[in-house]
A and B are shown apart, each in its own frame.
Chain A
Amino acid sequence: MSLSAAKDQFAWRGPASDRAAKPFSTKVKELFIPPKGEKVLPTASGMMLILIGLCIGLAAYNTENNILFAALSLLVATIVMSGLFCWSNIISARWRLETSPTFRVGEDGEISVVIENARQRFPLFCLLFDVGNEKTGESTALHLRESLDPGASCRLVWRYRPTQRCVAHFRIFEAVSSFPFGFLRKHVPGECAAEAKIWPARIEYRRLKMVGSGFGWQGASTKKKGSTGELIGLRQYARGDAPRSIHWKVSARQGNLVVKQNAAESQARYSLIVNPSGYLWPKEALFEKMCSFVTSLAEDLFLAGDLDCCQILGGSKIKISRVADLGTFFDEISALEWQLDSNVGENTEQSRAVTFSPLNGNSVGAVVNGKTIAEA
């Protein structure tokens, strides 16, 4: 057997995605009546060959010359074989789409097509995958550069650097086989899609001094849980905990992972409130800047242990205690859409809530209790 059952966990797509091989009669039927979405199209070379074939055929019939009929037969055989082989090449291929867990504008991420040759005897040649981001219209062609041995798999990687914040829909539009001659191309729908949130880019901002309170103020230790400060207890490791919080000595003694619970360093923990209402952000560029500013500030506050919760007005409040929580907030930010006529209401938050508002037309300010604490 070429494949182990463990591989069934993957959502394979493509002609050989079914674990059970199709009956031969079905394969033959599909050769002549392709399933929906599949098609065989001639390339420019193929069209040229067909045209030459027609000319030779015309000459052969008008001269009854068997040398011309022999040449015509050769051309016909080449076209038939081209169609037959490009079909048989792709029929035993299956693939899936994998993407990086996070994408951020301006930073490289990976979109991979994992291909597997489900044949037992013959290798797989020359496949081409048309992969793209439906949201932005960006796409690329990924070529299977080396022949794939029977039962083997490989990964074709697209190093994708997003240019805008969005919820990206990555899709394999189609897989194409043009082996062996490149006269005909068999197009098979990719059928693979993956959604990924593209977080805003990190931008530079300027912190403004606030004497006595707020961001950057080092206060007394509390018994609230935090990532820094005094050790107040231990607990079992949970997914998303930072590796540095693991108490290795205790973990070694107990035989399972135990993490430290520290007291927060400061009493000044902030809530980030984002108001995406259109009246506040008349320009899309300013809105995007705000999104980037929000994520940059949230990241820094989290690292400093000063972030309590985040909220996008109109949505639920997210308590930020782990990296994964911050990721959830960023995901929500990436899904924000700028709409000029939208209005989600006013912030009614208590003190220590950081809100964002435009400054001087092109800048965005982070405001706490009516005072601007940072500007981007």
Chain B
Amino acid sequence: MERQSQRLSVHDLYRVKWLIGAFMALISVGALYNLKTHNWIPASVTVAAITLCVLLPKLYANAPAALWKIFAFSIVPLVSIDIFAKETVPALLNLNTWLILYRSLNHQKRREEMQLVLLCLFLLVMTGMLTASILFGLQLLVFAGLAISFLSIGTILDSKSAGASESIDPSDAWKEHSGWLNLAGSMRYRNVVIGSAMFSVLIGIAGFSFLFIPRVDVENKVNLFNMKGAASQTGFSESVQLGEVTSIKNDTRVALRVDVAGERVVPAMPYWRMLALDAYSNGGFSISPSLKEMLDDEDSTPYRAVRYWKDRWFADAPSRDQTRDRWTFFVEPGVSKFLPIVGSFKQFTYTNLNDVRIAPQMHAFALKETPSKMVSYQLEDVDFSARVPDVPAERMRDLSVRRVTNRVDSDSPEYPKTLLELPADEASRAYLSAVAREITGGAPINALEFATRAANYLSRTHSYSMNITLPPVTDIQDPVVRWLRSDLDGHCEFFASSFILLARAAGFESRVVIGFKGGAWNAFENYYMIRNSDAHAWCEIYDGVGNWIRVDPTPGSELPASPGSTVALESQIGESDSLAYVDSLRMLWYRRIVNFDEQSQKEVAIQLKDFFLAYMQVAEEWAIRAVKQIYDWIVAPWSLAKLFYTSTSLFIAVSILLFQRNLALNYRELLLAPFKRGDPIRRKASKLLAKSEQKRRKRSKGTPEDREAVISELKRLRFGRKETWPNPRLVFKEARRWL
């Protein structure tokens, strides 16, 4: 016998609703931990308080009401401190957190329930806007489930208490509490199924709404909820010391994802260029002060980029040229304010161009601050050759002069002299000159030739290793030159720094470039995953005719003179393990949710249309093919076997038809019989009786006796004992005649 579950009482429901409200608050406040730069104290206090109340509900129930009043009043000074001490957004987050703490533990009325749901949603959305992480998506899903349970239980509670849910005495409700597990045991399986179905419907409708809410491209977008930027990773900042880039290599988290569309061939070993450093001092490279000033200047916005690059376009929406290849970059928060690029391009698309700064001399693109959330931008018509253009000479002078006039004189050299800057100590310079002469052989050679020889020289004298021990200081102070003079192994920074110093000693302007090299191809969603461990340093040498040539002196890299090897995009072999799958979900989140725009909406509509058209086409082709096959079969010469086959098939078909006519139920009713309750004959009789009743009502004339007899027999089939049944088939047949 089936055990009847005990129904939850009003007080049980009250406690279940309270628990779900507490979970909802925990989920939304927990989202604050996604914000790395936010003060976690209010969130931690809230989580601890709610958890304590959930674990010790009796303690919570016995807390004096005055405690909550005191807390409600204390929110004002707490938030006032925040407002005076911090920016608006953190203050708003903290206010929301304190209010959630108060409301999650004190909600009695329907409007208070609604307040709790909206406060939690508001906090969740704010953190989502500030992080745009996939974790937010998961939290929103869980929150949606909890919120609909919370609201539904609130409605059921109101109905169960005959509209008096607001006057339930909490102390009475908690007196009956005998543990959450006991309460969970009283839950009915059916309610869980209905709840799950409701959640699925909600997510379905929400997904549909998200896809088809009309999107409009708005000019002058408002930028809501900007938080103070996160700190860049050391190694991707404006000043890099020896070993800082390599230290990132221990981190295997994905720093950059790149989606490639419309490209057939991609570099076999792509270089994701972030920033170029020109000034050198004692083993460290940095951006020279004059360039830094230019980067921070308001004039360095993309709107003025036409001064330097007449063939480039900066926009906040993609171009309509469908023939262009598109590289979409998704940079994780806190990596760097410099945006990685794969080469020169025709268009740079970013939603808020006011936040972008351009350093044309470095061919670098940066944001005002290191972003605290994922940043995405797109390059169109990318040229991934190993060259980047320099600023034209006439524009260069204009830029430099205008800023130099405002600068205070200092001992440090100005750009572009920094491109030839060498170590300060004479011994180092002398050694570098000697090695440079050895490489050139004393004869004048061009930059490319020098780069090739210098890279070969470094490969001959040093090997690659991540474990470095620098030789002790002797007459040479500079650490890079000390390493160069030794036969020790080194990592990319030593090779790059050594190359730069040698090139400069030989009179070639050069600079070190920081970024990523390579990356893994994700086979699930087809995109590049570039991890922090792919961080790399290489060089650029000026060819004297307006281009900077990439040189990677680290052993194993391609020589600068060699043409860059490429690989077909379709033949990329990538990672397909579980980690790659998890990462592909994140990419899906970025592509389909975070970066979903008007264009994507159109694409979805077109895909849907194409799908249905393709489906129709397949069906049409199948039908034509089938008809043709039948026709061919008929017109083909008839053999005895074919005749036998045809007549047998026809006989079987007719037999089946006749057999069915002798059944009381048709095929549909026979097929559905196992899935429906009750006897199928009784059910059919009932259906026909109902139909006859309808017909009787419509007819004004008296019913014939025959018809009454049929109804009587139908009633016998419907209600009578099976032993007294007439032949159902005949009764149904007769009933159909009259109906």
Contacts and interface: CB of A to CB of B under 8 A. Distances in A.
B556 interface: no
A41 to B, nearest CB: 15
Contacts of A181: 148, 151-152, 155
Nearest to A8: B693
B213 A72 contact: yes
A211 interface: no
A65 B129 contact: yes
B159 A78 contact: no
Contact of A180 (B7, B129, B148, B595): B148
B222 A76 contact: no
Nearest to A19: B690
Contacts of B215: 64, 69
Given A61-B216, A128-B159, A181-B155, A123 B190 contact: yes
A296 B216 CA distance: 79
A19 B692 CA distance: 12
Interface string B1-40: 0000001000000000000000000000000000000000
A33 interface: no
Contacts of A127: 159
B224 A65 contact: yes
Nearest to A178: B155
Interface residues of B, number: 66
Contacts of A146: 7, 160
A62 B7 CA distance: 48
A182 B221 contact: no
Contacts of B198: 81, 85, 180
A285 interface: no
A252 interface: no
Interface string B110-153: 11001000100100110011001000110010001001100110
Interface in A55-98: 56, 59, 61-74, 76-78, 80-81, 84-85
Interface stretch (B200-208, B239-247, B276-284, B537-545): B200-208
Contacts of A183: 151
A143 B144 contact: no
Chain A CB count within 10 A is highest, among B137, B209, B223, B597, for: B209
A163 B209 CA distance: 54
B203 to A, nearest CB: 8
B317 to A, nearest CB: 10
B110 A182 contact: yes
Tell me the dominant secondary structure on chain B's binding face: helix
Given A44-B111, A66-B595, A74 B118 contact: no
Chain B CB count within 10 A is highest, among A19, A67, A84, for: A67
B587 to A, nearest CB: 15
Given A20-B690, A73-B206, A77-B206, A62 B151 contact: no
A55 B118 CA distance: 12
B218 A64 contact: yes
A78 B161 CA distance: 24
What interface size band does chain A fall in? 35 or more
Contacts of A65: 129, 224
B152 A120 contact: no
B111 to A, nearest CB: 7
A50 interface: no
A71 B690 contact: no
A179 B206 contact: no
Contacts of A85: 198
A181 B207 CA distance: 19
22 contacts: A45-B114, A59-B222, A62-B218, A66-B593, A67-B129, A70-B128, A70-B140, A73-B209, A74-B121, A76-B206, A77-B206, A78-B147, A120-B677, A126-B159, A127-B159, A143-B159, A143-B162, A145-B159, A145-B162, A179-B159, A180-B151, A182-B158
Interface of B: 7, 110-111, 114, 118, 121, 124-125, 128-129, 132, 136-137, 140, 144, 147-148, 151-152, 154-156, 158-163, 190, 194, 198, 201-203, 205-207, 209-210, 213, 215-218, 221-224, 351, 593-597, 677-678, 682-683, 686, 689-691, 693-694, 718-719
- A-B pairs, top 4 by smallest CB distance, nearest first, are A77-B206, A77-B205, A73-B209, A126-B159
Given A66-B596, A182-B110, 13 more contacts: A45-B110, A62-B222, A64-B351, A66-B595, A67-B594, A70-B206, A74-B202, A78-B148, A81-B201, A126-B159, A145-B162, A179-B155, A180-B198
